[in-house]
Amino acid sequence: MSPSAVGFREASARAVLDPALREAIRRVTDNLAVRRVQVTAELPHFDVLRDRAKRIKEHTLANLDRYLEQLEAAVRARGGHVHWARDAEEAAACVVRICREAGARRVAKSKSMVTEEVELNRALREAGIEPVETDLGEFVVQISGDRPSHLIAPIIHKRREDVAELFRRHLGTPADAPVPVLTAAARAHLRQAFLQADVGITGANFLVAETGTVVLVENEGNARMVTSLPRVHVAVAGIEKVLPRLADLAVFLPLLVRSATGQRLSAYVSLLTGPRGPGERDGPDVFHLVLVDNGRSRVLADPELREALECVRCSACLNVCPVYERAGGHAYGSVYSGPIGAVLTPALTGGRGLVDLPFASSLCGACRDVCPLRIDIPRMLVALRARAGQTAEARWERRAARVAAWLLCRPRLYRWASVAARVLEPVVRRVPVGALRRWARGRDLPRLSPTPFHRAARR
């Protein structure tokens, strides 16, 4: 997660001035949100699944050390290799080392937020290895040198015409090519990437401790190509992705897919357990699992924020968030945007974005209502706001609050002060105070009423 050039305040202030961006975001998020409501309503036991999933996640996180060791043993027993990465650098270096040892020059990737988080593509390129993103949206992100702006719809901020222009330059399609021509060109281009890749890199939607299985949920079939054609498969996953048993997928798959895309089930669900076994017709010769911590242990040890690790990255909270809809994903300055991103980014990094991300919310609670795990995002945003209040940047606010508290505890003095304030009001209004200018940019200070409320109430 590279630091953003500007904070959320500035970036979102710019984004709201772009009506085309807002229209593009609204079209996709409204569509996803409506479909989510439809397909969750048709499952009478959807709320039962949610409660069950919550209990499984709480139990798994409370025993994460045990389940991770079980997972490691299960993957090794099936002939796979397991690597542990403490932070982003270790994770990226580990994948680079695996690729080097495999003699890889080109690698094919399927969509993975954790590889964005650890900036794997940059590390690979610096090592002289060419990564090709094979998810259509991520491919567009890659050739335009952009960043994903939504957890599952990475180019939600781009219009069809933007993509047509990109493809004209990179793939030679006509400038006015209709969408089927564009997707066909991408398909032909990516087919070569699958065939030429020495290593395939994926994320993981779930990891099953009992069997050592990597579960991939997708609609384009590219993840299946990435895990079946190249000789080596590397799966990169955050340590919170583990589930105890294979049967838990019966709870989590419908929750994830219905909350994410509003489908009953995604077009492809792959369960990959170790490298190609004897007698199997496809699959890699070698399988590596890279387990990434990168701040997750710290979040696990934090009772107030631990719940954020239950997130399955479905993006339902983004699609209902009034702030996300207006600000767009890039404003959050992190691969994780929207309400859950506003919690995850400061939590995982130990404070990046703490001064503005917790405030990127009206605390309306829509995110908590739609979350399949019922993650109480507003509660965590308030907890983070309290922490932001303890930073050096907030020292003047702290002092002002202390003075106000002192005054409000002394009724007689307060009455004197309220008289004095009425006398001084015209003067105070005219003094331009530098520190208050930013505060006053969007607010109007109300006029004091001629009679204080406590006097009017007594009458």
Under the rule (CB under 8 A), what is the footprint of another protein? 440, 442-446, 449-451, 453, 456-457
**Dihedral, CA of residue 292, residue 349, residue 5 and residue 325, to nearest 10:** 90
Q: In the complex, what is the shortest distance from the CB of residue 451 to another protein, in angstroms, rounded to a whole number? A: 7
Q: Across the strands, what pairs with 354?
A: none
* Nearest to 78, CA basis, from 236, 289, 366: 289
Tokens 């990046």 identify what position? 352
- Taking the complex as a whole, how short is the minimal distance between the CB of residue 121 and another protein, in angstroms? 41
In whole angstroms, the minimum distance from the beta carbon of 439 to another protein comes to: 9
Q: What is the Rg, in whole angstroms, of the alpha carbon atoms belonging to the chain?
A: 25
Measured from the CB atom, is 176 or 444 closer to another protein? Answer: 444
The tokens 């593509």 sit on which residue?
121
CA atoms within 13 Å, Cβ hemisphere of 142: 24
Instruction: Compute the least distance from the CB of residue 443 to another protein, in Å.
Output: 4
- Residue 24's alpha-carbon distances to 160, 176, 402, 419, in angstroms, are 10, 19, 45, 53
Kindly tell me which of 280 and 444 has the beta carbon lying closer to another protein: 444
Dihedral sign of CA atoms 223, 229, 234, 240 in order = positive
Q: How many CB atoms lie within 10 A of CB 221?
A: 13
Compute how many other C-beta atoms are within 10 angstroms of the C-beta atom of residue 90: 17
Q: Give whichever of 43 and 364 is closer to another protein, judged by the CB atom.
A: 364
* Residue 273 CB partners (closer than 8 Å, separation 6+): 78, 211, 212, 213, 214
In what helix (H) or strand (E) does residue 383 lie, and over which residues does it extend? helix 377-388
Listed residue (160, 231, 242) closest to 204, CA to CA: 242
Q: Give the residue with the Cβ less far from another protein, 16 or 77.
A: 16
Between CA 380 and CA 306 the distance in angstroms is 9
Nearer to another protein, 301 or 405 (CB): 405
In angstroms, the first-to-last Cα distance of the chain is: 60
Q: How far is the CB of 444 from another protein (least distance, A)?
A: 4
Contact 53, 247 (CB under 8 A): no
Q: Which helix (H) or strand (E) holds 89?
A: helix 88-101
Q: Which residue type is seen at 301?
A: A
Nearer to another protein, 392 or 457 (CB): 457
Sign of the CA dihedral with 23 first, then 28, 33, and 34 last? positive
For tokens 């040890």, name the residue: 301
Indicate the residue among 351 and 389 with the shorter CB distance to another protein.
389
Q: Which of 303, 311, 318 is nearest to 238 (CA)?
A: 311
Task: Quote the least distance from Cβ 446 to another protein, whole Å.
Answer: 6
Judged by beta carbon, residue 179 or residue 419, the one nearer another protein is: 419
Q: How far is the CB of 450 from another protein (least distance, A)?
A: 8
β-pair partners for 330: none
CB of 445 to another protein, least distance (A): 7
Nearest CA-CA partner of 439 in 5, 6, 9, 7: 9
Is the CB of 430 or the CB of 443 nearer to another protein? 443
Q: How far is the CB of 235 from another protein (least distance, A)?
A: 46
Task: Indicate the residue among 15 and 75 with the shorter CB distance to another protein.
Answer: 15
Q: Which is nearer to another protein, 247 or 408 (CB)?
A: 408
- For residues 25-44, one letter each, b for 16 or more C-beta atoms within 10 angstroms of the residue's C-beta and e for the rest, the string is beebbeebbebbeebbeeee
Q: Smallest distance from the beta carbon of 449 to another protein, in angstroms?
A: 5
CB of 19 to another protein, least distance (A): 16
Q: How far is the CB of 364 from another protein (least distance, A)?
A: 12
Residue number, 251 or 366, with CB nearest to another protein? 366
